[in-house]
Amino acid sequence: MYLGIDIGSSSSKAAIIDRNMAIVATHVINIGTGTRGPSQVIEEVMQKANITQEEILYTVVTGYGRVTFQQANAQITEISCHAKGVSYLMKGIRTIIDIGGQDAKVIRIEADGRVKNFVMNEKCAAGTGRFLEVMARVLGCDISELSDLADSATNDIPISSVCTVFAESEVISRLASGASVEDVARGAHLSIAKRIVGMCNRVGFEADITMTGGVALNKNVVKVLSEELNMEIKAAPETQAVGAIGAAVFAYERHNKQD
């Protein structure tokens, strides 16, 4: 059995594959690095797979928390792991958009799943999951409700500030001047989408495109982004666990010296 762990800033993911490279179990917990998330996700994914620690032959850790996590055989960046995970799960993908808690990245991959190049967001939180968290808080809803809200928007409200902090005050003033929660939610999604489109252009995106990471669960973001890119975004299975699955595939390859 091979274990992949993806420790993000706001969630922990784990995946186990067997010696035939088939996925045995995946698991996601919504707390990330610096919490008990990593140990909990490992424990629970092993329960799901019904295996013990001894059965794990190799572990690869990825994600923002990878550097501080000691119990793995190797640590590999989330860029390579997402590329690996996607090419394991899907055929024909050449561009991956991954929006996580504090990083957003666009990765171009070769036909064999190798990373061709990538861009990541600048230091600030614009265009990341953190931006949506802040928006949800201002709108007084749960982050999981944003998608439905935005679906029923009737007007386009542009949020011009890219900075999360400024966008927050911009949204507050929009709401104060009578804009609906639905329209503002869509505005926030448009703002993220525009930011990501910029990154896609920079890296020179190609079809097929898929999207991974927690934000990909937000159907409206995916829809808005498809419209902005003028290209269909193929849904990735196991959206949140793609990085962990990639890490598990790396674990398999490293252990069997295919890497």
Partner 1 sequence: METKKSSRQLLDEALAKHYEDALTAKAAGKLVAWATSICPQELLETMDIDVVYPENHAAAIGARKGALTFIEHAEGMGYSSDICSYARVNMGYAEIQEFAGGNIPMPDLIFCCSNICNTVIKWYENLAVTLNIPLIMFDMPFNHTYEVPEHSVKYMRAQIEYAIERLEAITGRKFDYERFAEVMKISNETCEWWKKATDLAVHTPSPLKGYDMFNYMAVIVCMRGKTACKEIFQTWYEEMKEKAANGEGPFKDGEESYRVMWDGIACWPHLSSTYKVLRKFGINMVTSTYPESWNIRYETNDLDGMARAYSSNYANRNLNYGIKNVTKLVEDFALEGIIYHSNRSCKLMDFRQYEVQRRVEEATGVPSVIFDGDQTDPRIFSQGQYETRIQALVEMMAEKKKSEVTYE
Q: Which amino acid is present at 243?
A: G
- Round to whole Å and give the CA distance between 66 and 147: 30
- Asked whether 17 and 27 are in contact (CB, 8 A), the reply is no
120 forms part of the interface with partner 1 (CB under 8 A): yes
Please state the closest distance from residue 178 (CB atom) to partner 1, in A: 34
Please state the closest distance from residue 122 (CB atom) to partner 1, in A: 5
Query: Sign of dihedral through CA atoms 29, 31, 32, 33?
Result: negative
**Of 64 and 252, which has the nearer Cβ to partner 1?**
64
Q: Which of 2, 64, 88, 205 binds partner 1 (CB under 8 A)?
A: 64
Site string for partner 1, 214-253 (x = CB under 8 A): ----------------------------------------
Please, what is the end-to-end C-alpha distance for the chain in angstroms?
A: 17
Q: Which range of residues in 119-127, 169-177, 222-230, 239-247 is near partner 1 by CB under 8 A? A: 119-127
Q: Which range of residues in 49-57, 78-86, 93-101, 156-164 is near partner 1 by CB under 8 A? A: 78-86
- Asked whether 40 and 29 are in contact (CB, 8 A), the reply is yes
Give SS3 for 123: coil
Q: Which of 39, 73, 77, 180 binds partner 1 (CB under 8 A)?
A: 77
79 forms part of the interface with partner 1 (CB under 8 A): yes
Q: Tell me which residue of 144, 186, 149, 168 sits closest to 30, measured CA to CA.
A: 144
**Per-position b or e across 16-54, b if 16+ CB within 10 A of its CB:** bbbeeeebbbbbbbbbbbebebbeebbebbbeebebeee
114 forms part of the interface with partner 1 (CB under 8 A): yes
99 forms part of the interface with partner 1 (CB under 8 A): no
Phi, psi of 246, rounded to the nearest 5 degrees: -60, -40
200 forms part of the interface with partner 1 (CB under 8 A): no
**Of 25 and 79, which has the nearer Cβ to partner 1?**
79
The binding site for partner 1 (CB under 8 A) comprises: 64, 67, 76-80, 103, 114-115, 117-120, 122-123, 202, 204
